[in-house]
Chain A
Amino acid sequence: MSDFLIFAIFFAVLAVLNLYRLAKGPTAADRQVAGDSADILVSCALVLFSLYSGRGIYLDIAIISAMLGIIDTMLVGRYLDRGRWHYDADSDHR
């Protein structure tokens, strides 16, 4: 039974390692990618920990975590898109 706990701790440690890139990364895109990866790793760790402890509430938290991860990635992507390059409004490249 405790093998799931070991794997869950391993995934959580990988998520913490990703936070190093989130703190250091030179650009906003680096930080966002590292945060997204940490989000997915935390979801995996929650699934495994739910199997270890036998409580279903962690699965719901994992679903919500995955949903919020995609939303903030889309937000930062759209924000960066209004950046330095400005195309013509009637160009077919939007």
Chain B
Amino acid sequence: MSPETIMWLAIVGIIIFILILRYVIRRVFNKAEDIIQNKLAEKKNEKFGSKEESLSDRYK
């Protein structure tokens, strides 16, 4: 393999590696955020319950 081919392979490899790393980081952060948000919502619903309101109040 010529040095030029190796260079291009390295560039493509780095791009793919960055994309995979980006995907993994996003996935981990999204999962963590979902778990925290869902837990918080669950706790809030347990504590306060979902109160019933008049729908027409939203249009006053």
A and B assemble together: no
Which positions in A face B, CB cutoff 8 Å?
none
Interface of B toward A, CB cutoff 8 Å: none
